[in-house]
Structure 1
């Protein structure tokens, strides 16, 4: 088992904190105010690219736990966010990793993020069905939210997160690629 350095743990903690702070800036989605845009996902993705998918999932878990304990003690939304963001991080990393040292890395990063956004959106449809049942809502009345509004939300949120992540990754790329060696 590979030992984690103090630097890796520290940076993961910093990215978790930044991700939590990014969750505090919430913009309601115009089609359904229960859905909120926030700026936390870029830090989760950056941590994933820097230290791997386990670190990315850890950042997602920490930011959701912090938000749960300090802002909103409502577990179902946090679980849905964890599923969405964890799948986004893992799939994007798996697609991008073989091309991370390629000279056209930004193109491959864009492709990986696109695959991640689409995968996240598809994974969230059954997750939202379960979430709606956990909230006790009628599935028949929530069909528009599950099959129309939430997928559009996930596509837009994933795209916004990707647009924020690309310049962050480009700026920190030398550090991230050096960490992989």
Structure 2
């Protein structure tokens, strides 16, 4: 009789993988719902930038299940939001949002997974905010704003004027990104980080830390 090992996965491994997929889907759906409650901060950025707390479930998932799971949750969030709201930028906006979101949750989850302490959680979140902000500046300056300008018939000057109404020293698209996009994303990242730190220990058990 052939006693070669069965190449199929052990039932326990399949069950664990299924549970992970369910958690990713649930957290992604929750994040997409939170995106629906976005609101502008007109004192900080033009009204087409809206603050939401959708990164909180993504960060919690990244902490609990690792950075790859965090990236998967981010992808599920973007796809669900795309189904709910559609796209007018040939998917460029969704891709940019995915990259910026992953730039936040992947470093945070990776650093926390290496040593699951509060110190490492804070360090991961700080680095995540920095990388997200840098990614947001680059993506807005070279990808997102040009794509939105093309989709909605807006010139580069339109964005500069909208930014100058908030910060009078803005006279270029790079100024717009450095003086408006960067602070906006820092604030968004700080809010998401604080909420994650407050909630994670209370609910991480449900996700199987």
CA–CA separation in structure 2 for the residues paired with 1:61 and 1:95: 20
Q: Which residue of 2 aligns with 1:168?
A: 199
CA–CA separation in structure 1 for the residues paired with 2:62 and 2:182: 23
Displacement, 1:157? Answer: 0.4
1:130-173 Cα distance to aligned partner (Å, 9 max, x none): 22233344287433321210000110000011011112212134
Q: Which residue of 2 aligns with 1:48?
A: 62
Task: Provide TM-score, normalisation by structure 1.
Answer: 0.85
- Return 5+ residue gaps in structure 1 as ranges: none
CA RMSD between the two structures: 2.2
CA–CA separation in structure 1 for the residues paired with 2:96 and 2:46: 16
Aligned 8 A contact 1:106 1:170 in 2:
no
Aligned 8 A contact 2:93 2:147 in 1:
no
CA–CA separation in structure 1 for the residues paired with 2:28 and 2:132: 20
1:53-112 Cα distance to aligned partner (Å, 9 max, x none): 221111111111111121242333322211111111111122222221xxxx22321121
Aligned 8 A contact 2:70 2:109 in 1:
no
Q: Which residue of 2 aligns with 1:150?
A: 181
Q: Which residue of 2 aligns with 1:15?
A: 27
The equivalent position to 1:82 in structure 2, one of 80, 95, 98, is: 98
CA–CA separation in structure 2 for the residues paired with 1:174 and 1:58: 20
Matched, 1:114 2:126: yes
Q: Which residue of 2 aligns with 1:126?
A: 138
CA–CA separation in structure 1 for the residues paired with 2:191 and 2:86: 23
Displacement, 1:36? Answer: 0.8
Q: Helix, strand or coil for the counterpart of 1:32?
A: coil
Q: Helix, strand or coil for the counterpart of 2:48?
A: strand
The structure having more radius of gyration, on CA atoms, is 2
Q: Helix, strand or coil for the counterpart of 1:157?
A: helix
Displacement, 1:175? Answer: 5.3
Task: Provide TM-score, normalisation by structure 2.
Answer: 0.75
Q: Which residue of 1 aligns with 2:41?
A: 29
Displacement, 1:174? Answer: 4.4
Displacement, 1:47? Answer: 1.2
